[in-house]
Chains A and B, each alone.
Chain A
Amino acid sequence: MDNEFTIDEQPVPFVPGQTILEAAKAAGYYIPHLCFQPDFKRHGGCKLCTVLVNGRTQTACTHKAAVGQEVDVNTPELNAMRRSLVQMLFIEGNHFCPACEKSGACQLQALGYEYEMMSPHFVELYPHREVDATHPDVMIDFNRCILCELCVRASRDVDHKEIFAVAGRGLDAKLIINSPTGKLGDSAFAVADRAAQVCPVGAIVIKRVGFATAIGDRPYDREPISAEAESCELPEVR
């Protein structure tokens, strides 16, 4: 059959030009991801969507689907790798789920559950990071930033403001804000910006709407993150 490849031995159709992740989503097949959202330029940094394409590791969000490709997604080995990635993101920042407003709507936390992360495994790095609450409507808790660069892309490509960038390298890589003081309050950022809506974790938090949905009733409290593929859309996180 034309324009078909397999995921875990199941046939999956694709439109030429589609990535493996896009084709999988359209077919209702779940591949995990953090730095991918359909509206933004592909990034490929979080590596959660790592799959085997004809035996070789590739990121499903950047690799184009092709006829006859054999893609492995849901294997014990790949899932163990994903668990390690989630653990690494946890220990790199300061993630205290019980005290986080995003709990239950946080994709990092949801992936922790999805991949049965029972411990951080690695020694926590406990970095010293600040909270920027200078903006009237939005606050940024850098402790929770996972450097997915979704806000960078949303602000640059959709809002056309270029409020965010990532500076520094290695563990020193951090989200910076384009304003004279480096503070969000002194930037052109607005709560209506797309960049205010895209954070997959609790780093960019909108003020005065916290706990509008009670913990226990939030998207990933109700169903696991892997259920999202069936709706082909990301759940509304607020």
Chain B
Amino acid sequence: MAIAGYVVGATKGFIYLRGEYKHLQEPLQRDIDTMRASGRLGTSIRGAPGFDFDVEIHMGAGGYVCGEGTAQVESLEGKPGRPRVRPPSMVSVGYLGKPTVVDNVETLAHCTEIAVDGGASFAKRGTKTSTGTKLVSVSGDCERPGVYEYQFGVTIGRILQDCGAPAAVTAVQIGGASGVLVTPDEFSRRIAFEDISTAGAFMIFGPDRDIFEVARNFAHFFAHESCGFCTPCRVGTAIQRNIMEKIAEGRGSNYEVNDLKRLAEFMKRTSHCGLGETAGNAVRDALNKFRPAFERRLRARDFAPAISLEAALEPARRITARDDADAHLDVEG
């Protein structure tokens, strides 16, 4: 980060640490203090006059959307994490209206690598269009979850093998909730910008996982994480969640399945930021690739109401003091 500061002429850097990682705050602060004490942060770094740079840890409250650069800067300024309207971009108008570089810690760490070993050495690893290495954060059904570093171009299958995933993996969600759901026939695909690009999340779903439940969980996640700024994401993610609940309760039909598809496309086209744009991806992928997981829950092919019509008639029966056959529906609605 100090190198990045030196290059762009910045003297102040922030590490935005989300609330979930509070346990990292203390060791991170210790490292920063050590660097300052050894002259690698502060004024005249390494004795170079004018090379002044310091780092402060800023704790976030834990909003998924604060991973988006402009929302993160809003949060850094003490405001709710809501993505800004772009343009202007962060490099012209960022933190407190000043030009700001927003990068992942991983990217900045690679800067050091390039600064020390040179670009040619860095470019030797990875593929032609995706040079270098990538940290992959493996979780889910496997023997050895954890953070792995691979050269770009690694196949999904290789990662599954290395982390001790079961032989019959149902699917892998790559890139987190906003990412893509990958099925076994795609395990020869590669982690790279030209194939599956990802910030690193790699969730493995073993043979006993029900992908409908996975998608339902993601639907709840997005309804919870939507910041509420724009209509399509604020309301759309809630509708998506409610439709998934309706199907889970055994009251769904093809109508809902089609509505989910329309909704995913709608949110993608109209949302304000990447969260809303990708909020329908997990459900859409699950629908496209695991349709039977949805279909076995559907009650009717065309349409089924969200409520029980038979039960809804109960107040009317009570008021009219009727309980004869004609006061009941033939079939449970």
Contacts and interface: CB of A to CB of B under 8 A. Distances in A.
Contacts of B272: 44-45, 47
B242 A123 contact: yes
A169 interface: yes
Interface stretch (A87-95, A136-144, A210-218): A87-95
A89 B231 contact: yes
A170 B269 contact: no
A100 interface: no
A62 B85 contact: yes
A170 B242 contact: no
B176 to A, nearest CB: 18
A50 to B, nearest CB: 5
Contacts of B224: 170
Contacts of B108: none
Interface string A43-63: 011111010000001010010
Contacts of A26: none
A168 B231 contact: no
Nearest to B84: A44
B225 interface: yes
B236 interface: yes
B234 interface: yes
Interface string B217-244: 0000001111111111011111100100
A170 B227 contact: yes
A202 B141 CA distance: 52
B236 A88 contact: yes
A166 B269 contact: no
A2 interface: no
Interface string A111-132: 0000000000011010000000
A88 B269 contact: no
Given A81-B270, A123-B242, A170-B226, A45 B235 contact: no
Nearest to A148: B231
Interface in A215-238: none
A123 to B, nearest CB: 6
Contact of A170 (B228, B232, B306): B228
B80 A171 contact: no
Contacts of B223: 170-171
B256 to A, nearest CB: 10
Contact of B237 (A47, A62, A64, A170): A170
A84 interface: yes
Given A44-B85, A171-B234, A171-B238, A85 B270 contact: yes
Interface string A146-179: 1100000000000000000011111111000000
A47 B232 contact: yes
A214 B225 CA distance: 43
Nearest to B242: A123
A162 B271 CA distance: 27
Contact of B266 (A48, A64, A81): A81
A25 interface: no
Interface residues of A, number: 31
Interface string B297-333: 0000000001000000000000000000000000000
A122 B239 contact: yes
B248 to A, nearest CB: 15
A194 interface: no
B88 to A, nearest CB: 11
A42 interface: yes
Contacts of A168: 228
B63 interface: yes
Nearest to A122: B239
A92 to B, nearest CB: 5
A100 B297 CA distance: 41
Contacts of B87: 64
B231 A88 contact: yes
Contact of A172 (B228, B237, B270): B228
Q: Which of A44, A48, A84, A166 has the most CB of B within 10 A?
A: A84
Contact of A125 (B226, B238, B266): B238
Contacts of A59: 85
Contacts of A172: 228
A26 B268 CA distance: 30
Contact of B228 (A84, A85, A171): A171
Contacts of B266: 81, 84
Given A42-B85, A81-B270, A85-B270, A170 B231 contact: no
B132 to A, nearest CB: 30
Nearest to A90: B235
B263 to A, nearest CB: 9
A88 B228 contact: no
Interface string A10-50: 00000000000000000000000000000000101111101
Contacts of A92: 234-235, 238
19 contacts: A44-B85, A45-B231, A47-B271, A59-B85, A62-B85, A81-B266, A88-B231, A88-B235, A147-B228, A167-B80, A169-B63, A169-B80, A169-B226, A169-B227, A169-B228, A170-B223, A170-B227, A170-B228, A170-B238
Which 9 pairs of residues, A with B, have the shortest CB-CB distance?
A173-B228, A88-B235, A170-B226, A62-B85, A169-B228, A171-B238, A169-B227, A92-B235, A45-B230
